[in-house]
Amino acid sequence: MNPTELHLGQAYFWILAVVAIAGATGTIIAKNPIRGAMGLLTMILSIAGLFLALHAQFLAAIQLIVYAGAIVVLFLFVIMLLGPNATPQFDHRGRVPRWIGGALFAAAGIGAMSLVIRAVPKDTTGKLLEGVPADFGSVDAFGTLLFSNGLVPFELSSALLMVVIVGAIAVARGKSKHDVSHAHEQTVIEQEAE
């Protein structure tokens, strides 16, 4: 690998890493649920690009088809079904426990990263990582791994998605006709005011 390829590979990684972090941050801090879903889509596309850099073409394709193509579209349908204005009003109660929980989570994350950094051997004269097998990232290798060691988590994630869909339908059907007509009247009043 010549120095130009090395620099281009590093630049590709860092650009996609920054875009992925920006998308994830946008998903978390967006007040509009549609913008949050678009932040999630940005993060998913960046991660698919990182899979391509690792020569895992199958995972990149699955990332695009399943997550970008299905999950984000499902989120958008649920948001449109509930209405983008279905977000609750900002609640000032419980602000201190939320900040404490966030600080504890951040401290745990920083602690975990420091443990990982300490686990890296100091002697970097040899290779840090071993070479990957020739069939790494192929459909055969991924299928063998998925349907042997990963079968139970795969099935549990599909059951979780089914529960999410049923929950979204239950929440959407929970609205009465009076609530829907009142929300429509409120939207009309707001549009007339503009």
pLDDT per residue as tens digits for the range 22-60: 999 999 998 888 888 889 999 999 999 999 888 888 888
Model-level pTM? Answer: 0.56
Contacts by 153-161 with C-beta closer than 8 Å and gap 24+? 161/71
pLDDT tens-digit readout, 140-149: 887 888 888 8
Backbone angles phi, psi at 55, to 5 degrees: 60, 35
Q: How far is CA 58 from CA 52, 62, 138, 142, 161, in A?
A: 9, 6, 6, 8, 22
**Which of the 8 DSSP states describes residue 63?**
I
With 90 as the cut, is the pLDDT of residue 104 above it? yes
